[in-house]
Every structure is written in structure tokens, then in C-alpha cells.
Amino acid sequence: MEYRRMGKSGLQLSVLSFGSWVTFARQTDDQDNDRLMSIAYEAGVNFFDNAEVYSAGKSEEMMGRILKQKDWDRTSYVLSSKAFFGWKGEDKKPNQHGLSRKHLMEACHEALTRLQTDYLDLYYCHRSDPNVPMEEVVRTMNTLIQQGKILYWGTSEWSAAEIMEAHMVARELGLEGPAVEQPEYNLFNRRKMEAEFLSIFQNIGMGTTIWSPLASGLLTGKYNNGIPEGSRMSLEGYEWLKERSVLDDKIAKVIELAKMADELGVSLPTLSIAWCISNPNVTTAILGATKESQLNENLKALEVLPLLTPEVLAKIDEIMGTKPEILR
């Protein structure tokens, strides 16, 4: 396993990590998750990702039960949660979501209880919140750090302007700004990582924990002939994935990319994940899996990384046609 520093922080994350979005409590049970997390940990994965909204809190409860049973030193792995959406679904009341001090503090306490841990290594603002002053968000996250309940705070799906505002406010107050962002990054979604965030990487230093490196499974090739039963795009409540992702032109590109993977003698998923982590501004790519074979295969992305020469990367860009223009 390769480990990378999370931006300018001292924290080191495995370049491949394991997350629970969609899978935990929807596609997998405790027994499945125990095996999958064990495979990941034994392969050197040291970051496990979660959020209050995943399966309405059940995902955190499942991960908490498994970690409680394991004989893993708490200092050997990194655990995260995220707050914004709440976990009560459509029944949520005004202060049970968002980034107010009330919700961030209460959501953190709830996450600690569900995950059965004393502290979170990473705690994210799962979206930005225009209804809450940035000073309130920054102060609240720093209060949680000072209380020892979280070690680093971050953002997820924030814009570059919002991240910069948080850093400016933190600097004015003599507090810590966000150390990490969790954006979507894959061969279909490149603009933020390769263009919008460049000045932040260069001037501020920021870690990134990437979600959906396989574009919700699209880059595995399993949707090339329709949507298989039991896949995440077939799940109730995830129709938006289908609407956003499964377009004929995207499938055509995936088919061409699969041919290239064959020429290299590797699988399409490992090529796609290796491409993601070939970006030096990626700290870690979060893997999601429902089967042991799937996880074991995806972990082989590290073996594919050395094959990504400048020529191979240029050919991938040509096939996909998704490389953003960088304005100087």
C-alpha cells in the first residue's frame, strides 16, 4: 500500500480507502461488511469513510459494531463522518440538518455514539450552507477540535471560492481552516480537481479524499448492456444516478476504454482507479464494494499505476474527451 500526506497536514492516508455509501445497510449486512473491511485493512487500507446521512445513520452503526469487534489499534486507522443532510430524512426539523453550530455539534455527538468511538479523525461539512455564516462554521469545527472530538475538519463538494472563504475566515480568527475536501473525481468528472482547485493546491495545500472514482460503477463496464439487478443504479432512491450517468455517449466511451484496458492486460475498474490516483493532488480514492472479489480486484489498481505512462494517459484523454481546459 502507498500512503500520502493529506495536503499540508501531517496525516497520512492509504491511497486506496474504503467507504460505506450506498452499500452498508442497503446492499450488505454485518457479515459482509466485516469481511470487506478486514480485506481492506489487511491490504493496508487505513481510512474508513462514513456520514450521518448514509442509510439514515445505520451505516455508521454497522461500521461501529464491526470496529468494536475488531482487535485493531484505534491509532492504526482513520475514521470519518460528515454532517449537513441530517439522518431523519423527510421528517427532519429545521435544526436537524445544515451547518449551524447546533447541528454540527449534535451530529458529531451522534456519529461518535453510532461509530462507538471517542473521536473522529476527519469530520466534513457534507455540503456548504448559505444560511450559516462562515465564521460560525469555522468556529464550531475548531471548538470540536479543541474538545478532542475531531482531529481535522474538511469540506465535501464545496466550491473553490467557499473553501478559500473558510481559510480567510480561519486566518482572521487565528483558527484552523479545512485540511481536506471530498469531491467526486473520475474520468467523467474532472473540472474541480484539474482546474478549479489548482490554486488551492498550489497556495494553501489541501488533501482530497475522492468519492466515486468509478463514476457509480459506470467505469466498471457493468452497465454497458443495461442496468443489472442489485447494482446501485437499480436501487430505489438512487434513480438520479441513472439519469445523470447512463447516457449513450458515456457508454460508448467506456467501451473504448475497456478495449484499451484489454491491450494493457488489466481490468477496466483497476485502470479507472489507477488513473484517478495518478493525479498527485489525490490523497486517497474511496472504494465501495459489495463482494470480496470486487474489492480484491479494485485493490490491484496500485499494480496498474506504473503502466500509466504519459503516452497512455494521453490516449485515455483522447478516448474520453473530458479533460478540462485550464485557464492561466
- Residues with catalytic function: 54
Q: Mention every residue, 6+ apart, whose C-beta is less than 8 A from residue 203.
A: none
CB 79 within 8 A of CB 48: yes
Helix (H) or strand (E) holding 169: helix 160-173
Burial, 204: exposed, middle or buried (Cβ in 10 Å; 0-12, 13-18, 19+)? middle
Say how far apart CA 117 and CA 316 lie, in whole Å: 42
Eight-class DSSP state of 117? -
For strand 47-49 and strand 284-287, is the pairing parallel, antiparallel, or unpaired?
unpaired
Measured from the Cβ of residue 173, the count of other Cβ atoms closer than 10 Å reads: 13
For strand 284-287 and strand 207-210, is the pairing parallel, antiparallel, or unpaired?
parallel
Q: Mention every residue, 6+ apart, whose C-beta is less than 8 A from residue 306.
A: none
Say how far apart CA 52 and CA 195 lie, in whole Å: 30
What residue type is assigned to position 48 of the chain?
F
